[in-house]
Structure 1
Amino acid sequence: MNFDLSDEQQMLQDSAQRFVQKDYTFEHRRKLAAHGGGFSRDMWRAFGEMGWLGVAVPEAFGGLGFTPVESALIAEQFGRGLVLEPYVMCGVFPAALVTRCASGKQRDELLAEIISGETLIAVAHSEREARGVVSHVSMTAKQAQDGAWRLDGHKTLVVGATMADRLIVVARVAGGVRDAAGLGLFVVDPHAAGVTLEPYRLLDGTPAADLVLASVTVEAKAVIGTPGEALKGLLAAVDEAIVASCAELVGDIDDTVELTAEYLKTRKQFGVPIGSFQALQHRIADMAIDAMQARATLHRALKALSDDNGTRSVEVSGCKAQTIRSGKFVTQQGIQLHGGYGITDEYKVGHHYRRTLIVDALFGNMEYHLNRYARQIQADARALAA
């Protein structure tokens, strides 16, 4: 894999970096979290105008025609800036899902809405008992004689649901709760009869909600793709979203290392900078090593997305397990090296720590992905020994 950025990739990364440094300062972020509900429509439209919401969508479908690598470059800068607007969950994820599962006019119209930034689409996929298993879906969709569908069930952790203009809901049209077959995707109006949102703010200030559907009617034209055959596209979209969120976390990690190193240079004790103490130099070196490990597994996962040779999801799990482990270690060390003050609202390192905990909760936590990766390693070892 070539780790050097092309001219286009460098320009894309630079534009996201400039945006964060100029228009998304830490003070702006704190004000948005405290008084703006954690989301700005103007910012979201700006993402659309820059082309960031369709960066990995093929040109034939109205996107920029890049790959998940370019989405990761943007997400990393957003992680550094602690951007509250859900770029991954309401940008990368729904775009990947629609690209893989929809077709024709419906695909083009939905992607145009996502890419422009004028319409916010949130994906309701997670359920309380799923614990990271994508095929675990208990929400039901039953077709009536008139061709419409009736949706019933409960979804959790729907990021961006409170501001969403549309919801893409994963529901089961056939089979048992964890069967691979039988999943469908439905476009739901969040203001329709029978739709209830239970809003809350996540630990990092991101707005989210639980979703309750009670006999919600969805017209046949609002079904994405073929009912019952959504799992393959859903798995691919989830993997792409996980890798983008890991890239965001790599940005959090790198920024934490830089903030902490700078603090050690300026904070004095006994008349000298505390960065001159050998014990603290060792700790900042350990943080830098973990940052490199997180980036290395991100590169491996991005390669797996491009190769898609049957081990994609396992490699993605390895990436998430490592980046979360590194993220927790680095941000916790950063807080401690700030003398404990880092956990307060005034210090950016504490916000990076809280964001790490939220990324851990999305799409299955570190333990789930670590176990999944370990099972594959064990299976490969048994195959070699046979």
Structure 2
Amino acid sequence: MDFQHTEDRRMLADTLNRFVAEQYGFNTRDTIARSTEGFSVDMWRRFAELGVIGALFDEADGGFGGAGFDVAVVFEALGRGLVVEPFLDTLIVGRALAHAGSESQRARIASFVDGSQIAAFAHDEPGSHYEDARVATRAEKHGNGWALRGAKGVVQQAEQADVLLVSARTSGNEFDGAGISLFLVPRDTAGVSVRGYRKIDGGRAAEVTLDDVKVSADALVGVQGGGFATLEHARGYGIVALASEAVGAMDAARDFTLEYLRTRKQFGAPIGSFQALQHRMADVLLEIEQARSAVINAAAAIDAPRALRERALSAAKYTIGRIGARVAEEAIQLHGGIGMTWELPLAHYAKRLVMIDHQLGDEDHHLARYIALGREAA
């Protein structure tokens, strides 16, 4: 299989990397990440004008890419710049609508692509421990529509979102895959309350409470009770995105560390000339390449049969979790005390790598899932 990027993807990567380097420097990023909104609406629309959001979706849905490697190229560049704009949730919600949405729901993807609307993915719940099928939020028939009751946790950029993709149980027990349904809920719907807070890695998230929220019948995405397959499909693209973002962040952390080793002097010589530090840095470089290989494997398997696809995704997420923590620790230790300072960009990359591990399932979760999927296949 040829893993070389197409000319279009290389051009996209070059354009996005140049834009991030020139327009989204660390000071700009830090100001945006600490802002009241947690991201920049103006910057979001500029990304849209560059076609970056469109690269995440198929032509049928108003984009011009949509393959696993398109997602990987975009998010690797975003990871290098620690971009905090809501790309991940836009991808997940858009992919869910593309997979199971009605014609009118799929038409909404165009508003994501042009940056005019922002979507948030409201699935995780307090105490869910990354278990995809653990949904306690309930949806019950109410006239011709539905009434939703429950709570969602760590919903990215929920305060600024125009619409939420909410998972709710229409039948079955709390841990059943069957019986989960998906609903598009405008954030300003009566009964939706959002409590926002800053994240340690920049940007904002929120706890969302659904108190007898009434939505119409056309808010249901796909078939009643059949939302789990759509969730799995959309989260798969999210895992490719997060893993690719982590590789970009690791590349940046590597570059910062190599530059420091070349310039920091001890005993009259650059510390990078010390053999012990060279060995540690060589180990880091090998680990990053292993992570990159896992991401390539996941991106290539995104359209494969379920068993192969899900194992490749869990393998990539496990690998990223393990190696991301290793790279963050080594980079900080090789910098010494300065590596922990807020003013140094490296500390922010380390925080982001740690937090990526906790999104869409951490290292332990995906290792257990990989083993379980292997047993199922056997």
Q: Do both share a fold (TM > 0.5)?
A: yes
CA distance in 2, matches of 1:36, 1:139: 29
- Compared with structure 1, are the counterparts of its residues 379 and 103 closer, same or farther at alpha carbon in structure 2 (3 Å cutoff)? closer
Q: Hey, what does 1:131 align to over in structure 2?
A: 129
| Preserved CA contact (<8 Å) 1:124 1:156 | yes
**What TM-score do you get using the length of structure 1 for normalisation?**
0.94
Alignment of 1:255-334 (within 5 A): 255-334=252-331
Q: Secondary structure, in 3 states, of the residue corresponding to 1:212? A: strand
Equivalent pairs counted in the alignment come to 378
Q: Which runs of 5+ in 2 are unaligned?
A: none
Matches within 5 A, 1:142-157: 142-144=140-142, 146-157=143-154
CA-CA distance at 1:359 after TM superposition: 1.1
Task: Quote the sequence identity (%).
Answer: 38
Query: In the alignment, which residue of structure 2 is the partner of 1:183?
Result: 180
> Using a 3 Å threshold, how does the CA distance of structure 1 residues 119 and 156 change in structure 2: closer, same or farther?
same
Residue 101 of structure 1: aligned partner: 100
For the Cα contact (< 8 Å) 2:339–2:347, is it kept in 1? yes
Does the residue aligned with 2:144 lie in a helix, a strand or coil? Answer: coil
Structure 1 gap ranges (5+): none
Please give the secondary structure, in 1, of the residue aligned with 2:165: strand
2:8 alignment partner in structure 1: 8
Residue equivalent to 2:346:
349
Q: Which moved more, 1:186-195 or 1:153-162?
A: 186-195
Please give the alpha-carbon distance, in whole angstroms, between the structure 1 residues aligned to 2:210 and 2:230.
23
CA offset at residue 203 of structure 1? Answer: 1.2
Q: 1:305 to 1:129 in 2, by over 3 A?
A: same
Letter in 2 for 1:103: S
Q: Following superposition of structure 1 onto structure 2, how do residues 114-263 of structure 1 map, counting pairs within 5 Å?
A: 114-144=112-142, 146-263=143-260
Distance in 2 separating the partners of 1:376 and 1:177: 21
1:115 partner letter: V
Q: For residues 57 and 240 of structure 1, what CA distance do their matches in structure 2 show?
A: 11
Looking at structure 1, the residues matched to 92 and 357 of structure 2 have their Cα atoms a distance apart, in angstroms, of 16
8 Å CA contact retained: 1:202, 1:358 = no
Q: Secondary structure at the match of 2:121?
A: strand
Q: 1:209 to 1:267 in 2, by over 3 A?
A: same
Residue type at the aligned position of 2:9? Q
* C-alpha RMSD of matched pairs (Å): 1.5
Q: How far apart, CA to CA, are the structure 1 residues paired with 2:193 and 2:303?
A: 38
Report which stretch shifted further, 169-178 or 49-58. Answer: 49-58
TM-score between both structures, scaled by the size of structure 2: 0.96
* Contact residue 131 and residue 365 of structure 1 kept, 8 A: no
Could you tell me which amino acid in structure 2 is paired with residue 44 of structure 1? W
| CA 1:232–1:377: 2 relative to 1, 3 Å | closer
Amino acid at match of 2:178: A
SS at match of 2:116: coil
* Partner Cα distance (1:345, 1:228) in 2: 46
Is the Cα–Cα contact under 8 Å of residues 162 and 209 in structure 1 kept in the other structure? yes
TM superposition shift of 1:56: 3.3
Shift of 1:379: 6.2
Q: C-alpha separation between the residues in 1 aligned to 2:178 and 2:353?
A: 33
Deviation at 1:343, TM superposition (A): 1.6
After superposition, the Cα gap between the structure-2 partners of 1:222 and 1:376, relative to the gap in structure 1 and judged at 3 Å, is: closer
Give distance in 2, aligned partners of 1:218 and 1:74.
34
Please give the secondary structure, in 1, of the residue aligned with 2:195. Answer: strand
